[in-house]
């Protein structure tokens, strides 16, 4: 019997032997697949470690923000920046104020030079009309100066206590045109009615 078993074992050995390289190839293929899966798992694990580290940093940042005072409070740095901006604005305000004062002074000089003070209005005797007759109209004589206007003359007369209007001056001076006053020209200013 032992020869029978020996023959069976030998037969099986010779039969199995051709199967062994095919099995080896299958096992090798499975090992290669398992190696690839292990490498994929290791790469995924490394990626998860990176994500966990990023999440950990984000959580730490959020904890720091929670430990800071609320946004309703200003830090010392915020106050310093605000003070610098206020100083800058104040310097610009002072410079603008000085510029305005200089401009006003310049305009005052121009205004004073452009319009001299009006001459005195002098009372005159009753004047004669163009027909040679003497009218009983009382009033004042005024000599036009450079830059004078009828409204300016009326204002000067009012300062002297003479209440007169532009229309009254135009009626008392036939041919006088408000827009064409000549320096040296004499006009009649009617006295107010009593």
Per-residue pLDDT of the chain (194 residues), as tens digits, is 566 666 666 666 666 555 556 677 888 888 888 888 889 989 999 999 999 999 999 999 988 888 776 666 778 888 899 999 999 999 999 999 898 988 888 887 776 554 445 456 665 554 544 444 445 578 888 888 888 888 888 888 888 888 889 899 899 898 888 888 888 888 988 887 66
DSSP letters of 52-121?
HHHHHHHHHHHHHHHHSPPTTS--HHHHHHHHHHHHHHHHHHHHHHHHHHHHHHHHHHHHHHHSPPPPPP
b/e map of 46-62 (b: 16 or more CB within 10 Å)?
eeeeeeeeeeeeeeeee
- The H helix count followed by the E strand count for the chain is 4, 3
What is the pLDDT at residue 2?
65
What is the pLDDT at residue 81?
93
CB 131 within 8 A of CB 167: no
**Tokens standing for residue 18:** 């051709």
What is the pLDDT at residue 128?
45
CA distances, 1 to each of 8, 11, 95 (Å): 11, 15, 125
* CA–CA gap between residue 13 and residue 7 (Å, rounded): 10
What is the pLDDT at residue 25?
80
What is the pLDDT at residue 49?
94
* CA–CA gap between residue 139 and residue 172 (Å, rounded): 10
pTM, full prediction: 0.36
Distance of CA 133 to the CA centre of its chain: 72
What is the pLDDT at residue 68?
73
- How far the first Cα of the chain sits from its last, in Å, is 171
């Amino acid at each position: 019997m032992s020869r029978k078993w020996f023959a069976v074992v030998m037969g099986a050995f010779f039969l199995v032997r051709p199967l062994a390289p095919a099995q080896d190839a299958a096992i090798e293929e499975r090992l290669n697949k398992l190696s690839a899966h292990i490498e994929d798992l290791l790469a995924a694990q490394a990626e998860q470690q990176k994500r966990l580290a990023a999440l950990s940093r984000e959580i730490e940042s959020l904890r720091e923000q929670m430990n800071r005072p609320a946004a309703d409070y200003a830090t010392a740095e915020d106050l310093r920046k605000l003070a610098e901006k206020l100083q800058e604005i104040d310097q610009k305000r002072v410079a603008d104020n000085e510029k305005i004062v200089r401009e006003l002074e310049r305009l005052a000089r121009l205004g004073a030079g452009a319009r001299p003070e009006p001459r005195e209005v002098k009372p005159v005797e009753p004047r004669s009309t163009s027909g040679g007759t003497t009218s009983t109209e009382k009033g004042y004589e005024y000599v036009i100066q450079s830059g004078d206007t009828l409204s300016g003359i009326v204002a000067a007369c009012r300062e002297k206590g003479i209440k007169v209007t532009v229309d009254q001056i135009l009626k008392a001076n036939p041919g006088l045109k408000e827009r064409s006053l000549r320096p040296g020209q004499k006009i009649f200013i009617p006295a107010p009615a009593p």
